[in-house]
Structure 1
Amino acid sequence: MIARCLASVIFLLAANAFANDHVVGCADRKNAELNKLEKVHALNGIRVFYTEVAPVSGKDHRLPEQSQADANANGVPDFIENIAIQADVARKVYNALGFTDPTLTQKYLAVKYIDINVMNIQPNGLAFNSPVRYSAAPGRGEACTLRVDISTQLEAQVIGSAKKPVQATFTRYWFVVAHEVFHLYQYGQTPLKRSWWMEPSARLMEYAFRLQAHYPSGMSTYKLPASRNELNSKVVALPNGPDAMRFWTKMAMLHDGGQDVMRMSDELLQARYTDGQPVLKDNKFIGYAFLQSFMNELKTNENLISHNNNRRVQARSERGQTSPSNDSFIIKSIQATLKSTRVNSPEVASFMSVEP
């Protein structure tokens, strides 16, 4: 009898471990810079942390003067409110377009909030892969979160050409929050963290928020790579280069067949920043159908990936997730997605012959 009970317990424990095999634990971490962010503005499961206090030492994360305005006098800087608004609308748009919210994926079942830290950092934005809690930092509590960092200096920049400099107002010219939020969707769907697919496709998703006219130049003459060497040199090696963006845009155009209208709810189409600027600049956008199909292919191909120690894909090391050895699976997924469109041309046939 005792043996039978022990066997049942062991079976239940094993079954539970198997069921939760893809669920990533939430690490409790400490960060001296996050401890400086004493203020929080929350919106629909998104928490934006910032500071109005001068630091005792180290980096100063206070907003520059031009980003401290509080035109609606609600006690929260407009810049902070607008970061939360863009993140909230981005999440709703991505979900409406058919992408799986990261908090609904097996990897992030423990996650309660997306936390955005507005900090004095060199990049415009960063998205982190691991679910974490910072229980020692002000206002965080014990909640498991996904972390995004956004620069305090976005509106301090002057953008545009030297002949036509433009002060970089967040509500008109910045889509970096939507970009970083989409990285969380990518992380939740697949562990294959290769920059040459993640960066250009996240930039492509920014165009859901831009005017249609801002798609990359040179598309009318752009041709897909005809060899693995060409793909490697122009796209894989240069994930932030113009050809990488053109490559993914061309894939989107081939897949979507010119169907570039987002069917969004009136609520989203009418969403506004604090200054009245629309969050979605129009409802024209290509790319979501291709990216959704491609990411589903990647997820399917995870079953084909073997690792030396036979661990589950989600448990692989950071080095394993970013390894160039994953490129063949990414290429196969792109080709399978393109094949499903049944688009036929010499250019497509040439790319389809590229060896993964």
Structure 2
Amino acid sequence: MGSARRHTLSRFVALFVLLGAVAAPSLTSAQQKKRTELTEHFVYDEVRIFYVKEGTGAVSPVDVDQNGVPDQVENVAKQIWAAHRLFCDVLKFPDPFKSERYKGVNCIQVSIRDRSEMSNLNGVAYSSAQRARKIPEGKPTDRAIVMAIATQVDPIKNATPTHETFHLIQYGTTYFKNSWYLEGMARWAEHATA
């Protein structure tokens, strides 16, 4: 019986060693996928942009008007703001801020990240509202609809911010999320600010 127990114990030890060998690369992979902490922010009306100036995911440092905010950040904010105004105020699409789904939402929160932190996408809009990040200009009760834009996107040449803004409008209108419905309309919407 002692021999059988030793054999069973040896199997358990071998199993744990094997599991450790399999789990270690997974932990390393998860650690490598850690997102960059976005330390800077810029507010343009109801649009809040979070970004970094150095390291992985840093925005372009060009600041032609020398106001301390990189032009890329300002241009992403302005494109989102203009798209929201055009679609909701001028073309009368349903405003996500006034939708049943997004009750209490008062800002669009945008993360500018390296494409590698976004599954190699240019942008992504999220369908769930969340508590807004705390900033001095905000209130603790602020709620946000959220998107991310890749640092590789030049908003002067690329309408991805408009595309993602239109997705937020779609999400405020319907829970239907099939890509044949969402993407065709969002691609059409890109031409509005291009």
- Relative to the length of structure 2, the TM-score reads 0.74
CA contact (8 A) 1:38 1:138 kept: no
Would you say 1:149 and 2:148 are equivalent positions?
yes
Q: Distance in 2 between matches of 1:138 and 1:38?
A: 11
RMSD, aligned CA:
1.9
Structure 1 unmatched runs, 5+: 1-31, 55-59, 156-169, 211-356
CA contact (8 A) 2:109 2:132 kept: no
1:165-217 Cα offsets, whole Å, 9 max, x none, are xxxxx31x21010000000000000111110010011000111123xxxxxxx
| 1:214-253 map, 5 Å | none
Match of 1:123 in 2: 121
1:20-45 Cα offsets, whole Å, 9 max, x none, are xxxxxxxxxxxx636x1111111110
Q: Distance in 2 between matches of 1:123 and 1:192?
A: 21
Q: What is the DSSP-based 3-state SS (H/G/I as helix, E as strand, rest coil) of the residue aligned with 1:208? A: helix
1:282-328 Cα offsets, whole Å, 9 max, x none, are xxxxxxxxxxxxxxxxxxxxxxxxxxxxxxxxxxxxxxxxxxxxxxx
Tell me which of the two structures has the higher relative contact order, counting C-alpha pairs closer than 8 angstroms and 6 or more residues apart. Answer: 2
1:200 to 175, 181, 184: 184
Q: Distance in 2 between matches of 1:119 and 1:188?
A: 24
Q: What is the DSSP-based 3-state SS (H/G/I as helix, E as strand, rest coil) of the residue aligned with 1:116? A: strand
Q: Distance in 1 between matches of 2:102 and 2:176?
A: 16
Look up the equivalent residue of 2:151 and give its one-letter code.
T
Q: What is the DSSP-based 3-state SS (H/G/I as helix, E as strand, rest coil) of the residue aligned with 1:70? A: coil
Q: What is the DSSP-based 3-state SS (H/G/I as helix, E as strand, rest coil) of the residue aligned with 1:154? A: coil
Q: Distance in 2 between matches of 1:53 and 1:74?
A: 18
1:61 to 49, 54, 57: 57
Q: Distance in 2 between matches of 1:93 and 1:115?
A: 18
Q: Distance in 2 between matches of 1:48 and 1:133?
A: 15
Q: Distance in 2 between matches of 1:141 and 1:52?
A: 25
CA contact (8 A) 1:46 1:87 kept: yes
Percent of matched pairs sharing the same residue: 31
Q: Distance in 2 between matches of 1:114 and 1:106?
A: 16
Look up the equivalent residue of 2:35 and give its one-letter code.
E
Would you say 1:33 and 2:35 are equivalent positions?
yes
CA contact (8 A) 1:125 1:148 kept: yes
Q: In 2 relative to 1, CA 112–33 (structure 1 residues): closer, same or farther, beyond 3 Å?
A: farther
Q: What is the DSSP-based 3-state SS (H/G/I as helix, E as strand, rest coil) of the residue aligned with 2:192? A: coil
Higher strand share: 2
Q: What is the DSSP-based 3-state SS (H/G/I as helix, E as strand, rest coil) of the residue aligned with 2:105? A: coil
CA contact (8 A) 2:111 2:147 kept: yes
- Relative to the length of structure 1, the TM-score reads 0.41
1:97 to 91, 94, 107: 91
Look up the equivalent residue of 1:208 and give its one-letter code.
A
Structure 2 unmatched runs, 5+: 1-33
